């Protein structure tokens, strides 16, 4: 599903990602584990085409990101580390705008919005402004939005950072339900426990090392 080959990102003299190699199979729930500053967010941003890579390649479903940007964008759903919801819009409006951007036909769009609100347990709050949501609800809405256009690959950048223990456990339950659906997922985290609980396979990135291990 996803193949990362010698992926490198340099910001002037700083190398944020240094020759990362990684393959994620269809249906795999992969964890990229590393401390703050290891380059996890930079990697996710390169895969989701938000940041240009310096060198190397990213291949998604057999297509290189260099040549098939538009079709690749449609295949990916992204939940960024930072909240980027429209805070003056309701949950439903945030999803509606996303569906329109992805050119989903109206009927399909409305049906998927209802489905995703139910999946993330936000149906009751659909008409509330997202600025009034808790951190956990905002994160769930970003997941609903990332899944709306039915991507093949979901990128989750630190999905539980900043959440309290109860909200984190709820998020893990939601991610386990996602996993049981067989979607391919790349999750980043700096919590070893989170990687152990959720992931089939874990890759460690650090300043000096990049290797892949099977937990447990």
Ligand X SMILES: Nc1ncnc2c1ncn2[C@@H]1O[C@H](COP(=O)(O)OP(=O)(O)O)[C@@H](O)[C@H]1O
Which chain residues interact with ligand X by CB under 6 A? 11, 14, 16, 34, 36-42
Q: Strand pairing of 210-213 and 55-60?
A: unpaired
b vs e for 88-101, b when ≥16 Cβ sit within 10 Å of the residue's Cβ?
A: eebbbbbbbebbee
In the complex, least distance from residue 199 CB atom to ligand X, rounded to whole angstroms: 16
Smallest distance from Mg ion to CB 43, Å? 9
Give me the least distance between CB of 79 and ligand X, in Å please: 14
User: Can you give the length of the chain in residues?
Assistant: 216
Smallest gap from Cβ 142 to Mg ion, in A, equals: 15
Instruction: Assign residue 214 a region (left: φ > 0; alpha: ψ between -120 and 50; beta: otherwise).
Output: beta
- Give whichever of 11 and 97 is closer to ligand X, judged by the CB atom: 11
Q: Count the alpha carbons within 13 Å of 214 in the hemisphere toward its beta carbon.
A: 2
# binding residues, Mg ion (CB under 5 A): 3
Q: What are phi and psi of 13, to 5 degrees?
A: -85, -10
Query: 46 or 60: whose CB is closer to ligand X?
Result: 46
43 binds Mg ion (CB under 5 A): no
What token pair was written down for 23?
């393959």
Q: Residue 96 or 158: which CB sits closer to ligand X?
A: 158
CB of 128 vs ligand X, minimal distance in Å:
30
Residue ranges of E strands in 87-205: 153-157, 184-189, 201-205
202, 159, 180: which is closest to 27 by C-alpha? Answer: 180
Residue 41 near Mg ion by CB under 5 A:
yes
Q: For residues 167 and 204, which CB has a smaller minimum distance to ligand X in the complex?
A: 204
Q: Which is nearer to Mg ion, 45 or 149 (CB)?
A: 45
Where along the sequence are the contacts to Mg ion (CB under 5 A)?
40-41, 81
């Amino acid at each position: 599903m996803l193949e990362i080959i010698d992926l490198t990102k340099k910001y002037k003299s700083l190398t944020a990602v240094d020759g990362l190699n990684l393959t994620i199979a269809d249906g795999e729930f992969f964890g990229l584990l590393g401390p703050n500053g290891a380059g996890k967010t930079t990697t996710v941003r390169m895969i989701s085409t938000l940041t240009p890579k310096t060198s190397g390649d990213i291949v998604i479903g057999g297509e290189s990101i260099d040549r098939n940007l538009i079709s690749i964008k449609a295949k990916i759903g992204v939940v960024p580390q930072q909240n980027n919801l429209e805070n003056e819009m309701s949950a439903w409006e945030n999803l509606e705008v996303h569906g329109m951007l992805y050119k989903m036909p109206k009927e399909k769009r409305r049906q998927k919005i209802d489905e995703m609100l139910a999946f993330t347990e936000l149906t009751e709050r659909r008409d509330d402004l997202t600025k009034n949501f808790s951190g956990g609800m905002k994160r769930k809405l970003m997941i609903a939005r990332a899944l709306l256009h039915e991507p093949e690959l979901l990128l989750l950048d630190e999905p539980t950072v900043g959440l309290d223990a109860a909200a984190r456990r709820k998020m893990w339950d939601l991610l386990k339900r996602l996993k049981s659906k067989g979607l391919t997922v790349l999750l980043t985290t700096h919590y070893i426990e989170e990687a152990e609980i959720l992931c089939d396979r874990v890759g460690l990135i650090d300043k000096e090392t990049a290797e892949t291990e099977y937990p447990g």
